[in-house]
């Protein structure tokens, strides 16, 4: 009986970490980026999604495994690679997490505005209150896992429904996923950054570590959790892509101020607009929780008081994000740029983790698979090139 309870508890944490990673990735930025790029690339956006999924797998399997075998958080691993490097990476991740969280809070406010007609600012405060409530209880970790699981399933079912009723050209989408007619480098780096860049890379790995699932013996569980998280996020993005494609392929206009809302309204009418409110609220609140939890996990090893009062620091992070949103608002462009920023951070953090994988003073007698090392190096090179190319194009436009 006790063993069964332990297995159930472990499975709850493993699936919770997967959903935490997936729902952290599936936020307002995720919804906005997918819709905006589908409108510009149409069926060829399927190729971008395919590339991003492949890169996501390489990133998550490398990072989660190394965190598990080192039995340390990413910033502590970085400090072992080079003293002070962990502080630098923590600063990048926390600033990126804050930028995303401001957008997440704004997205939640927009979702509640659609559902209940209240102002976006009031909706943001309601969403922040719900997120704070998760960390106000003693068993915050377990509640966070369960909340992410429930919201993830709700989002998936609602987006699948809209994808079906929008009647997308599935055959064309499948063809252009393999043979695209046009490409957009900014789309690739933004999608990868928005799915596994910045804090999202470490959300599930840090959650498993905090729950005591670490060491070489736990690698099968870590592997399963990482693959599950990527799969959930990927399936949601594919169905959202199909929903948007069904709308844009019919020549129906999208509202530039709120592209994903247009997709739901055009596909399913007034009811679709309300469904969008539910999806946006669910996506945003779970992303608020994931961003706050993971960002603070990068701070708590630098000062004992942060670790001692972790939940209070997470609550303060959420309140700060909400205050900034209420003060300055949240344009669609912020969400696109935040994903691109996280894409630029990714090569740095992944390089550090790959170096750590081959340092015996960090991982002991663990031997990192050669194919994962080569896969990781390839991703670093590709993302560095894409990031540099995208930055060059952005500078030319100034």
pLDDT 10s per residue in the chain (398 long)?
A: 334 434 445 677 888 888 888 887 787 777 888 888 998 999 999 998 998 889 889 999 999 999 999 999 999 999 999 999 999 889 888 888 887 788 888 888 888 888 888 888 898 899 999 999 989 887 777 888 888 888 888 888 988 999 999 999 999 999 999 999 988 877 887 777 667 777 788 989 999 998 889 999 999 999 999 998 888 888 988 999 999 999 989 888 888 777 888 899 888 888 988 989 898 888 889 888 988 999 999 988 777 888 888 899 999 999 998 988 888 765 455 555 555 566 667 888 999 999 999 999 999 999 999 999 999 999 999 888 876 766 666 556 55
Backbone phi, psi, residue 367, to 5°: -115, 110
Which of the 8 DSSP states describes residue 212? T
Q: Where are the domains of the chain?
A: 12-397
CA–CA separation, 127 vs 284, rounded Å?
8
User: What is the tens place of the pLDDT at every residue in 163-179?
Assistant: 999 999 999 999 999 99
Nearest alpha-carbon partner for 22 in 314, 227, 278: 227
- Cα–Cα distance measured from residue 16 to residue 106, given in angstroms and rounded to the nearest whole number: 25
Indicate the pTM of the whole model. Answer: 0.85
The per-residue DSSP string of 76-111 comes to HHHHHHSTTHHHHHHHHHHHHHHHHHHHHHHHHHHH
Assigned fold of 12-397 = Amino acid/polyamine transporter I (1.20.1740)
Q: 315 and 136 in contact (C-beta within 8 Å)? A: yes
Four-CA torsion 161, 163, 166, 169, nearest 10 degrees: -150
Q: How far, in Å, CA of 181 to CA of 233, rounded?
A: 25
Assigned token pair, 257: 């101020």
* pLDDT value, residue 325: 82
pLDDT reported for residue 5? 36
Instruction: Please work out, in degrees rounded to the nearest 5, the angle formed at the alpha carbon of residue 276 by the alpha carbons of 37 and 271.
Output: 125
Q: Rounded to an integer, what distance in angstroms lies between the CA atom of residue 287 and that of residue 69?
A: 27
Question: Measuring CA to CA, which residue among 330, 207, 241 is closest to residue 50?
Answer: 241
Whole-angstrom Cα distance, residue 281 to residue 316?
21
For residues 75 and 86, is the Cβ–Cβ distance under 8 A?
Answer: yes
């Amino acid at each position: 009986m006790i063993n069964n309870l332990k297995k159930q508890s472990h499975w709850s944490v493993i699936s919770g970490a997967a959903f935490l990673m997936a729902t952290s990735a599936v936020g307002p930025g995720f919804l906005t980026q997918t819709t905006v790029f589908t409108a510009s690339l149409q069926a060829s956006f399927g190729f971008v999604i395919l590339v991003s999924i492949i890169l996501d797998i390489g990133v998550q399997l490398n990072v989660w495994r190394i965190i598990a075998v080192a039995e340390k958080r990413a910033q502590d691993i970085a400090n072992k690679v080079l003293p002070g490097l962990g502080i630098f990476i923590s600063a990048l991740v926390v600033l990126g997490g804050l930028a995303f969280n401001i957008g997440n809070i704004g997205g939640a406010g927009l979702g509640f505005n659609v559902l209940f007609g209240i102002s976006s600012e009031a909706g943001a405060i309601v969403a922040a209150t719900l997120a704070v409530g998760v960390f106000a209880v003693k068993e915050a970790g377990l509640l966070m896992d369960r909340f992410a699981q429930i919201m993830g399933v709700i989002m998936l079912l609602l987006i699948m429904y809209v994808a079906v009723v929008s009647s997308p050209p599935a055959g064309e989408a499948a063809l252009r996923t393999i043979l695209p007619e046009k490409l957009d480098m900014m789309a690739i780096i933004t999608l990868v950054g928005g799915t596994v860049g910045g804090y999202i890379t470490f959300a599930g790995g840090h959650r498993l570590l905090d729950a005591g699932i670490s060491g070489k013996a736990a690698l099968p569980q870590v592997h399963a959790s990482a693959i599950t998280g990527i799969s959930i996020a990927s399936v949601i993005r594919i169905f959202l892509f199909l929903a948007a494609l069904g709308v844009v392929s019919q020549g129906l206009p999208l509202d530039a101020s709120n592209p994903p809302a247009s997709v739901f309204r055009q596909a399913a009418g007034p009811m679709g607009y309300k469904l969008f409110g539910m999806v946006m609220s669910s996506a945003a609140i779970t992303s608020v929780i994931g961003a706050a939890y993971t960002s603070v996990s990068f701070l708590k090893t630098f000062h004992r008081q942060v670790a001692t009062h972790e939940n209070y620091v997470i609550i303060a992070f959420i309140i700060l994000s909400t205050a900034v949103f209420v003060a300055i608002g949240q344009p669609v462009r912020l969400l696109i740029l935040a994903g691109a920023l996280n894409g630029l951070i990714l090569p740095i953090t992944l390089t550090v983790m790959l170096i750590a994988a081959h340092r015996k003073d960090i991982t002991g007698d663990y031997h990192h698979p050669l194919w994962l090392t080569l896969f990781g190096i390839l991703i670093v090179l590709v993302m560095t090139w894409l990031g540099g190319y995208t930055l060059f194009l952005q500078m030319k436009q100034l």
